[in-house]
Structure 1
């Protein structure tokens, strides 16, 4: 199975250690999503924009660990998307974004510009 990550799970980011056993497949831009800063990590929601990230091949054990990390408390919901590498899971933010800072570039690595 595959997963699309766009924030702290990306290479050289704060939670990238969770992806140690994953196989990097390449970059992907997911259209019709908007990226917001939640402080130390981002949240993507459906909207007019795009989100840049990376696609990995992962095993069921890694997916279970990421689910425990990301879906705890209902902050994110896992959703299936289409990428150039095939279908992949993406964690979509589930809370209101009105008071959050939008990252217009769609790239979490640009977070300090906003």
Structure 2
């Protein structure tokens, strides 16, 4: 499945408004803000960026509507997601059901190990105290 204009996209780390990835890719033009969201899973501090791992728990994010899907290959590369070579990917892009609001959205999910990662109990990258 491909991301298309009109799709919902949830972000929780460097792609959130005000963070470096958001500015780097001009997402203020490519994504229209829909408000806060809550995703299922746990958030880990991986050093300079976070990783969402699917499972129990909740993660704080922001929800957007994709206006310009042509930006997605650049965003995929930023997230180390390589759809043509999944073994090379650190994240995968998945279509998931959000906790809040009750709808589906695309999100990047961490798929590598967590050996040196630390759990962020709040699930909020902006409040990244770790356990």
Same fold (TM over 0.5): yes
1:101 aligns with 2:110: no
Q: Residues 12 and 61 of structure 2 are in contact (CA less than 8 Å); yes or no, is this contact kept in structure 1? A: yes
| Whole-angstrom CA distance in 2 between matches of 1:65 and 1:92 | 17
Q: Residues 16 and 61 of structure 2 are in contact (CA less than 8 Å); yes or no, is this contact kept in structure 1? A: yes
Q: Which digits, 9 at most, give the CA deviation of each residue in 1:20-71, with x for residues without a partner?
A: 221010110112x000011111000112211110011112212222112211
- Which of 25, 37, 41 is the matching residue for 2:34? 25
Runs of 4+ aligned residues of structure 1 deviating over 3 Å after TM superposition are: none
| Whole-angstrom CA distance in 2 between matches of 1:56 and 1:64 | 17
Q: Residues 46 and 116 of structure 2 are in contact (CA less than 8 Å); yes or no, is this contact kept in structure 1? A: no
Closer, same or farther in 2 for the Cα pair 1:75/1:99, shift >3 Å? Answer: same
- Which of 2, 5, 16 is the matching residue for 2:11? 5
Structure 2 SS opposite 1:66:
helix
| Whole-angstrom CA distance in 2 between matches of 1:85 and 1:23 | 18
